Amino acid sequence: MMRIRALSLDLDDTLWPIQPTIQAAEQAVFDWLSARCPHVAGQWSLVSMRALRDQIASDHPELAHDFGAQRKLSLAQVIGGPQADQAELVEQAFEIFLAARNRVTLYAEVDHALPRLAALLPLISLSNGNADLQRMGLAQHFAARLSARDVGIAKPDAKLFQHAARTLDLPIAAIAHVGDDPLLDVQGAKAAGMFSIWLNRDRRTWDLPDRPDLEVTQLTELCDWLDQHLAPANPALEPVPA
pTM confidence score: 0.88
- Angle of CA points 110, 113, 115, to nearest 5°: 105
pLDDT at 233: 44
Amino acid letter, 195: F
Residue-wise pLDDT for 129-160, tens only, equals 999 999 999 999 999 999 999 899 999 999 99
> Once rounded to an integer, what is the mean pLDDT over residues 43-53?
94
**Is pLDDT at 239 greater than 50 in this prediction?**
no
CA separation for the pair 121, 123 (Å, rounded): 6
DSSP assignment of 72-85 equals HHHHHHHH-S-HHH
In the chain, the domains with their CATH numbers are: 6-16+106-237 (3.40.50.1000), 19-101 (1.20.120.1600)
- What is the residue-averaged pLDDT of the chain? 92
In sequence order, the 6+-apart residues with CB closer than 8 A to the CB of 12 are: 18, 127, 128, 129, 131
Question: Cβ distance 226 to 6 under 8 Å?
Answer: no
Sheet containing 214-216: order of strands: 144-147, 123-127, 6-9, 175-179, 195-199, 214-216
* Per-residue pLDDT tens over the stretch 165-218: 999 999 999 999 999 999 999 999 999 999 999 999 999 999 998 899 999 999
Backbone CA torsion sign across 233, 241, 162, 155: negative
- Residue 86: is its pLDDT beyond 90? no
Tens digit of pLDDT for each residue in 112-127? 999 999 999 999 999 9
| Integer Cα distance of 69 and 94 in angstroms | 10
Sign of CA dihedral 24, 28, 31, 33: negative
Distance CA 10, CA 20 (A): 18
User: How far apart are alpha carbons 154 and 181 in whole angstroms?
Assistant: 13
Q: Give the helix ranges, DSSP H, for 37-157.
A: 38-43, 46-59, 67-79, 83-101, 110-120, 133-136, 148-151
H/E segment holding residue 186: none
